[in-house]
């Protein structure tokens, strides 16, 4: 199982295309960073666990292509409305 743990850094943005080569990634931990937006994850269709807890995310978006997602962690963010999760 391929896991990427980038928690507790100062990541402000996931640049589109920067993770595209990690097509077999199953779990990614991005908690306790400074992310404001969910982006750059489109190529991770085999992703099962996405941890975005303790960031600055206000809107749930750009998860449509994550068809294998089983766990989504968004605790301790700045979410204003829960939306865009019907496809999960």
Give pLDDT tens digits for 25-79. 999 999 999 999 999 999 999 999 999 999 999 999 999 999 999 999 999 999 9
Q: How many CB atoms lie within 10 A of CB 55?
A: 23
Please state the domain count of the chain. 1
Query: Which CATH number do you get for residue 56?
Result: 3.80.10.10
Range of the domain at 83: 1-88
pTM above 0.85, yes or no: yes
């Amino acid at each position: 199982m391929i896991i990427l743990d980038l928690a507790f850094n100062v990541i402000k943005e996931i640049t589109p295309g920067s993770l595209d080569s990690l097509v077999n990634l199953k779990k990614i931990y991005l908690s306790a960073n400074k992310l404001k937006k969910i982006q750059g994850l489109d190529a991770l269709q085999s992703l099962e666990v996405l941890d975005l807890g303790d960031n600055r995310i206000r809107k749930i978006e750009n998860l449509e292509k994550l068809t294998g997602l089983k766990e989504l962690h968004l605790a301790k963010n700045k979410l204003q409305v829960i939306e865009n999760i019907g496809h999960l």
